[in-house]
């Protein structure tokens, strides 16, 4: 019995010594920037002692550095599942997920990183915002990307990478920077610069930047839509002019049709909006924004039943879109469905309490 | 007969207003009066008609030849002589003096200046509640870093356009400020788009081009129409304005009422208010509108079970309980507004929405 205890004790001591050696060697490899060796040693260490929480973080970091993004994601997942304060790892895992094209997960982890707060020693906020912009753009969520990009405008960040990212969102190009052609670089940077000027709030500089953009790239798709998009909040008349110019370049561009219809609706001109909303429906019936502008155009021109049907379809497609709830409240109210209208109004009030969801765009 | 009367009235009214495109509001209004006497009789005396006062036509400043206020390092004075008002700001070493070009508001007043082609809103305003000057509402937190900043806040393009767009008529065309054609205050043309064309046509005997009838709008559209200046429900929602500050936005408050029905004319802005008349402050005046739904006489036997409730407390002065007065803090103390969110108010209830 005593012999067995002795053997067990010896084995434990040897194992512990071996683990400590591995940790020391791994740290040394990491410090001399020998990433492959560090990965090998950290892998051995966490296999030997899987509950060594920090080891998974070290391993994930090294794997990310080596470009082994899927493996890094898995190591960081081990860390996140067991660490008492996993905040910093969400950001790094978000970057791994971005690289392996898991954009939705990447966005969720960026959100987790932001929500959990705390010091984020490994990834700067600017980097996270940059990847968030790219992920949103890649997913076609251009408006969300531009909302995110106002961060760069506030901090007057104008590095070429950021300008391209903002340009991609602004011109509604669902591409990654590595996918763009060389001859698109100038267009994207100019568009990004103009968009950031606008978001920074300097009307004069923004106007100059957009005029410059229009002069240099008069036929580039998306340029006039981008300017119109920014003008929506402050100058509907000029926004309408820009969307119409966009449609001269691309007559059936559904995005431009939707934006033009929206601008006309905001001008209280639903009968003018209706034909553009109908064109958008022909080209892009599955977009919630199409259903929104069509539903509003119809209900505000007196076609309440069909208008409401389109708005209800829009709501199925995008249940969290404040504008759809606003439109439904109005349409139900016009049709005398006071309980339904009241329900939608309460929903809107709930969605906008504490200043959340403050949007004025489709 | 009607046609003769119309033409005679129009000719009289228009004799002095040949340049119709750049006409001044009293002339057009007198022309409108030849057919629309009831609407034009009192409208020129309403606060809306005086929502913007041009330089030299401000009775408040005429009655207060010198108004002064010191705020921190800056001393303000507004001096009026010979119907000309000057806004002065000094830091002791230097002084900026600007002519007041326009006054926004008839009772509570804020002033607009023009400097180097840009429009500025005065940092201080006149408050009738204190019969004096205080910081302009909304600018309380702006701390001027220089004498220039102490003058007031520059209005961005959209802000200036919206400001003149609501407080005057014909000030905006195709999204741009067109002050050359601007008429101070809210005139016929402000709400009844196409008035000028209608007048011209009528002068030539063509009577089939009246401005779109606002009478026929459903309640939802009336709210949206008035809300262009008084803020629509959706505008307030989008801007996330919560708390007592939104009591000024009556269409928003009304739409939050349990009884609001966008298809029912009995609950629209114009069911209670005639925009051509001064606001009626006698609470009992509004009882009839409330009772158009909340009375036994209004009940439709075909709609049994869904009728509006009858008040168990009183059948008169409904608004005193169901549309309570709300006090909103301002730099010059509390300002009182009527809450248009019609509801059963219980003691201790927080301000809703």
Q: pLDDT (tens digit, 9 = 90+) per residue, A309-341?
A: 999 999 999 999 999 999 999 999 999 999 999
Q: Does B286 touch chain A (CB under 8 A)?
A: no
> Which positions in chain B touch A358 (Cβ < 8 Å)?
238-240
Best residue of A204, A236, A266, A342 to probe chain B, by most B CBs closer than 10 Å = A342
The pLDDT tens digits along chain B (353 residues) read 344 444 444 433 433 343 443 444 556 667 888 889 988 999 999 999 999 999 889 999 999 999 999 999 999 999 999 999 999 999 999 999 999 999 999 999 999 999 888 999 999 999 999 999 999 998 998 999 999 999 999 998 889 999 999 999 999 988 889 999 999 999 999 999 888 889 888 888 888 888 888 888 889 999 999 999 999 999 999 998 999 999 999 999 999 999 999 999 999 999 999 999 999 999 999 999 999 999 887 776 666 556 788 899 998 999 999 999 999 999 999 999 999 999 999 988 999 99
Q: Does A234 score more than 50 pLDDT?
A: yes
Cα distance between residue B81 and residue B344, in whole Å = 52
Q: How many CB pairs under 8 A join A and B?
A: 73
Per-position b or e across A58-67, b if 16+ CB within 10 A of its CB? bbbbbbbeee
Check A333 against B234: CB less than 8 A apart. no
> What is the token pair recorded at B97?
């003096």
> What is the token pair recorded at A158?
């104008």
Give this prediction's pTM: 0.82
> Which positions in chain B touch A305 (Cβ < 8 Å)?
none
Q: pLDDT (tens digit, 9 = 90+) per residue, A63-116?
A: 999 999 999 999 999 999 988 888 779 999 999 999 999 999 999 999 988 887
ipTM: 0.86
> What is the token pair recorded at B303?
């709609």
Check A333 against B353: CB less than 8 A apart. no
Cα distance between residue A279 and residue A268, in whole Å = 19
CA A320 to chain CA mean position, Å: 16
Best residue of B261, B303, B342, B352 to probe chain A, by most A CBs closer than 10 Å = B261
Put simply, the chain B residues between 217 and 236 with a CB less than 8 A from any chain A CB are: 218-221, 224, 228, 233-234
> Which positions in chain A touch B176 (Cβ < 8 Å)?
237
Check A359 against B258: CB less than 8 A apart. no
Helices then strands, each counted (H, E), chain B: 14, 16
Q: pLDDT (tens digit, 9 = 90+) per residue, A16-45?
A: 558 999 999 999 999 999 999 999 999 999
Check A349 against B237: CB less than 8 A apart. yes
Q: Does B293 touch chain A (CB under 8 A)?
A: no
Cα distance between residue B86 and residue B98, in whole Å = 6
* B217, B225 contact by CB (below 8 A): yes
Question: Which pLDDT score is estimated for A201?
Answer: 86
| B55-59: long-range pairs with CB below 8 Å, 24+ | B55/B84, B55/B85, B55/B99, B55/B100, B55/B101, B55/B102, B56/B83, B56/B84, B56/B85, B57/B83, B57/B184, B58/B85, B58/B100, B58/B103, B58/B109
**Burial of A222 (C-beta count, 10 Å sphere; 0-12/13-18/19+):** buried
> What is the token pair recorded at A330?
């109005």
> Which positions in chain A touch B254 (Cβ < 8 Å)?
none
Q: Could you give the percent of chain A with pLDDT greater than 70? A: 91
Cα distance between residue B260 and residue A342, in whole Å = 9
Best residue of B161, B237, B308, B343 to probe chain A, by most A CBs closer than 10 Å = B237
Segment (H or E) for B75: strand B74-81
Measured CA distances, A179 to A141, A166, A173, A249 (Å):
18, 15, 10, 24
Question: Which pLDDT score is estimated for A92?
Answer: 92
Question: Which pLDDT score is estimated for A123?
Answer: 63
Cα distance between residue B244 and residue B326, in whole Å = 7
Q: Does B176 touch chain A (CB under 8 A)?
A: yes
Question: Which pLDDT score is estimated for A357?
Answer: 47
Check A359 against B264: CB less than 8 A apart. no
Check B238 against A237: CB less than 8 A apart. no
Cα distance between residue B305 and residue B299, in whole Å = 10
Q: Which residue of A has its CA nearest to B158?
A: A234
Question: Which pLDDT score is estimated for A11?
Answer: 36
Best residue of A234, A321, A325 to probe chain B, by most B CBs closer than 10 Å = A234
Check A341 against B233: CB less than 8 A apart. no
CA dihedral A338, A340, A341, A345 (to 10 degrees): 130
Question: Which pLDDT score is estimated for B157?
Answer: 86
């Amino acid at each position: 019995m005593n012999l067995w205890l002795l053997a067990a004790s010896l084995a434990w001591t040897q194992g512990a010594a071996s683990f400590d050696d591995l940790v020391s060697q791994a740290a040394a490899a990491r410090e001399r920037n020998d990433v492959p060796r560090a990965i090998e040693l950290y892998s051995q260490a966490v296999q030997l002692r899987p509950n060594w929480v920090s080891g998974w973080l070290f391993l994930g970091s090294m794997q990310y550095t080596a470009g082994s993004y899927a493996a890094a994601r898995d190591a960081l997942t081990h860390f996140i599942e067991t660490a008492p304060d996993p905040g910093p790892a969400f950001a790094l895992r978000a970057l791994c997920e971005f690289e392996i094209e898991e954009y939705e997960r990447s966005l969720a982890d960026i959100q987790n990183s932001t929500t959990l707060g705390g010091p984020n020693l490994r990834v700067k906020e600017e980097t996270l915002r940059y990847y968030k912009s790219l992920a949103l753009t890649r997913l076609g969520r251009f408006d969300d990307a531009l909302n995110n990009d106002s961060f760069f405008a506030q901090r007057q960040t104008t590095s070429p990478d950021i300008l391209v990212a903002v340009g991609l969102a602004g011109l509604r190009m669902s591409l990654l920077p590595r996918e763009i052609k060389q001859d698109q670089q100038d267009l994207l940077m100019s568009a990004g610069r103009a968009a950031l000027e606008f978001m920074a709030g300097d009307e004069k500089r923004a106007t100059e930047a957009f005029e410059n953009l229009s002069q240099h790239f008069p036929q580039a798709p998306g340029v006039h839509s981008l300017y119109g998009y920014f003008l929506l909040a402050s100058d509907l008349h000029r926004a309408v002019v820009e969307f119409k110019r966009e449609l001269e370049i691309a007559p059936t561009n559904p995005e431009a049709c939707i934006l033009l219809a929206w601008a006309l609706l905001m001008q209280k001109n639903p009968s003018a909006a209706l034909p553009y909303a109908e064109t958008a429906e022909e080209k892009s019936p599955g977009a919630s924004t199409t259903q929104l502008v069509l539903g509003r155009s119809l209900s505000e021109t007196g076609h309440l039943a069909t208008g409401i049907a389109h708005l209800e379809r829009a709501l199925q497609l995008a249940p969290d879109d404040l504008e759809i709830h606003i439109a439904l409240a109005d349409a139900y109210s016009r049709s005398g469905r006071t309980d339904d209208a009241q329900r939608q109004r309460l929903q809107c009030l709930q969605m906008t309490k504490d200043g959340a969801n403050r949007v004025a765009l489709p | 007969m009607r046609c003769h009367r119309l033409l005679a009235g129009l000719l009289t009214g228009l004799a002095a207003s040949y340049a119709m495109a750049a006409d001044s509001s009293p002339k057009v209004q007198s022309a409108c009066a030849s057919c629309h006497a009831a609407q034009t009789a009192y409208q020129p005396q309403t606060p809306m008609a005086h929502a913007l006062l041009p330089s030299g036509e401000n009775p408040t400043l005429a009655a207060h030849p010198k108004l002064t206020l010191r705020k921190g390092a800056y001393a303000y004075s507004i001096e009026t002589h010979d119907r000309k008002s000057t806004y002065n700001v000094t830091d002791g070493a230097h002084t900026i003096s600007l002519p007041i070009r326009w006054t926004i508001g008839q009772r509570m007043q804020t002033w607009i200046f023009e400097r180097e082609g840009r429009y500025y809103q005065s940092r201080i305003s006149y408050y009738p509640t204190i019969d004096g000057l205080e910081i302009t509402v909304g600018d309380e937190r702006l701390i001027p870093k220089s004498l220039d900043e102490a003058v007031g806040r520059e209005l961005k393009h959209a802000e200036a356009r919206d400001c003149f767009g609501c407080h005057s008529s014909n000030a905006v065309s195709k999204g741009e400020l067109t002050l050359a054609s601007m008429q101070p205050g809210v005139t016929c043309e402000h709400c009844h788009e196409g008035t000028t064309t209608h007048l011209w046509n009528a002068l030539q005997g063509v009577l089939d081009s009246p401005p779109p009838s606002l009478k026929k709008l459903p309640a939802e559209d009336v709210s949206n129409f008035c809300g262009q200046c008084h803020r629509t429900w959706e505008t307030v929602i989008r801007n996330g304005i919560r708390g007592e500050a939104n009591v000024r936005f009556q269409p928003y408050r009304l739409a939050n009422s349990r009884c609001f029905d966008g298809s029912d004319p009995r609950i629209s802005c114009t069911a209670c208010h005639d925009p051509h008349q001064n606001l009626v402050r006698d609470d009992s005046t509004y009882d009839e509108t409330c009772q158009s739904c909340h009375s036994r006489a209004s009940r439709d036997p075909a709609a049994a079970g869904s009728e509006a409730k009858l008040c168990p407390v009183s059948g008169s002065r409904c608004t005193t309980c169901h549309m309570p007065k709300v006090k909103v803090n301002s730099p010059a103390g509390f300002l009182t507004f009527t809450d248009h969110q019609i509801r059963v108010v219980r003691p201790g209830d927080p301000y809703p929405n």
